[in-house]
A and B are shown apart, each in its own frame.
Chain A
Amino acid sequence: MSISLRVNLGGLEMKNPVTVASGTFAYGEEYDQYFDISQLGAVTVKSLSLRPRAGNPPPRLVETPAGMLNAIGLQNVGIEAYLKDKLPFLRKKGCTIIGNIYGHSPEEYAQLAQRLEAEGGADAIEANLSCPNVHDARTARGCSLVAQNPELVRQYTVAIKTATRLPVFVKLSPNVVDIVESAVAAQEGGADAVSLINTLLGMGINPETRRPILSNIVGGLSGPAIRPVAVKMVWDVAKHLKIPILGMGGICTASDAMQFILAGARAVAVGSYVFREPTAPMKIVQGLDDYCRRHGVADINQLVGAMAV
C-alpha cells in the first residue's frame, strides 16, 4: 500500500506533516549531524528579529516534571546573519523552510516578512506573536503579549499579509481565556494557518535561597507535561476555523502527533523533546507512515480532525 503523507498547510506544500517548533532546532545544522533534516516536512527556524538579540541573562532553563521551563528571551543572530550564514545550509540541503519572525511592531513584522521573501529566506512565515519571555515580569500584568489581544492579532496579521505573498502562519499563546478568539482574529486578518500552542507561562522558586529559579522570574513551560492542554486547544480551534492548524505542545512520538492530527491539526511540530532525543522528528515521520499502514489509510489528510466521537 502506498501511503501519502503530503499535506498543504495554508499554501505551504509539505512532503509530510512534521516540522519542528521554533527555537528547538536552531537553524538546522546541529541536528543534521543526527539525521538528514531534509526528510522533514519543513524546518522551522529560531525566531528572527531585525537586529541580533542577546536574550535574557542566565539562568534561563530548568527541568520540570515531564518538561522544562525556559526564558531564553529570543536570543538570535538577526535576520541579516541568518540570510548570510544560516540560510545557505538549509537551501543546500533542500529543506522547506518556515521562517519564524519576531518584531516590536506591525511594521517590524512586515519588514521581516518582506526581507525573507525577497531573499528566498523562507517558504512560509510564522509570526511569533506569543513569546512569553520578552517582557519584564516584575512589572507586567495581564495582556502583555500581542497574542493576548485579539484586535492586535488581527492588526499584526493584516500588516504581515500585506507585506508578503508567502503563506503566513500566526503562532498563538495558550495564556489566554479563549484561544479560539485569538485564532478567529488571525483568520480574519488573513492568516493562512495558525500555529498552536506556544509555551504556558510558569515559574519556579528555590525555597532555600528564596530566589526565582530563572533570572527572568517567569518562563515558558514545554514538554509532554503540556500535551493534553495543547491537544484540547487544537480541538477547540479546529471546530471554529476554516484555515489549517500547525499543532504542537509536548509531541514526543508518532502516537502523540496522531492525537494532534485527529484533534484537527493539518501538520505538527516537535518541540523540546528533540533536546532529549535528537532523532525524534524523523522517527515521527516514519511512525506516521506506519500508523497509516496499520489503519489502512492511504492519505494522512483523511485523518485530520477525524477523532471518533
Chain B
Amino acid sequence: MLYNGNGNRYMKTKDIVYIALFAALTAVLGLFPPITLPITGVPVTAQSLGPMLAGAILGARRGGLSIVLFLVLVALGLPLLSGGRGGFGVMIGVTGGFIFGWAVSAFVIGLLIEKFWNSLNVIKAALSIAFGGIVVLYALGNAWVAVVAEISYWQATVGAAPFLIGDVIKVAIATAACLAVRKSYPLISKSA
C-alpha cells in the first residue's frame, strides 16, 4: 500500500484503528431497532451482521479481535448489545454461546475469505460467511444452550431453527457488502 516506508509500526497502529472501528460498528448495528419476522414473531437484530462484516472485511486476525474487543466492552458493563443489554449476566446467560461464538465466527469467516481472496466471487463469499456465521456460530450457541438447559444438542438445534431465516438474510447482506468493499477498499492483502 501507500505507506510502506514506515515499516511494521505504522501498520500496527492502522490495525488497531480498524479493529476498534469494527467493534464500534457492531455496537452501532445494535442500535437499529430489531425487525420482527412475520408469522414466527422471531426478532431479528442487525447486530449479528457485525461479526460477519468484521471477518469478511478485516480477515481472521483483525476481524476476530474486533469482536473480542466488542465483547470486552460488553463485559466491562457497557450496554452495547442490542436492546441496550450488557454486562456479565447476558454474556453467560442462555444465549452466551452465540455471543462468545461471534468472535470465533468472525475469525473463521476471515480465515475462509483470506483463503479465497484472489478468486473471491459471490458463491465463495456467501459460503464462507454462511459457514462461519451460521454453521460454526450455531454449533457453539446450540451446544451452550444444550448444556445449560439440559437438553440434547438436537433439541437445542430445533429450538434455534426459527432464527435461521434472519441469519440467511444477514449472510446475503454481508456477502454483498464484503464484495463491494473488496472492490473499492480491499484490506486483506493477497499474501495474507
Do A and B actually bind? no
Residues on B lying within 8 angstroms of A by beta carbon are none
Residues on A lying within 8 angstroms of B by beta carbon are none
